[in-house]
Structures are given as structure tokens and as C-alpha cells.
Amino acid sequence: MFLIYKYEISVFLSFSLSYSLMLIFIFQFIFAKK
């Protein structure tokens, strides 16, 4: 049970990290176009 919980936390952290990186790239692209 604890291992599954830890695995879900790591998956969620990696997903949120990639999502925040994607948002940063989008914002840089928007600001570079202006």
C-alpha cells in the first residue's frame, strides 16, 4: 500500500514538473512573439 502511494506521488510530481515546463515554454514563446 505504501509503495503504491509513493509510486503515485512520484508519477504526479513528474507530471506536474513536465506540465510546468510546458507552461514556461508557452509563455516564453508568447513573450518572444511580442
CA distance linking residue 20 with residue 5, whole number of Å: 22
The total number of residues written for the chain in this structure: 34
Return d(Cα 23, Cα 31) in angstroms, integer: 12
Distance CA 2, CA 27 (A): 37
> What is the residue-wise DSSP string for 1-34?
-HHHHHHHHHHHHHHHHHHHHHHHHHHHHHHHH-
Q: Give the pLDDT score at 23.
A: 97
Q: Is the pLDDT of residue 2 over 80?
A: no
Question: Can you tell me the distance from the alpha carbon of 31 to that of 34, in angstroms, rounded to the nearest whole number?
Answer: 5
Higher pLDDT, 12 or 1: 12
- Per-residue model confidence as pLDDT tens digits over 3-34: 778 888 899 999 999 999 999 999 999 999 87
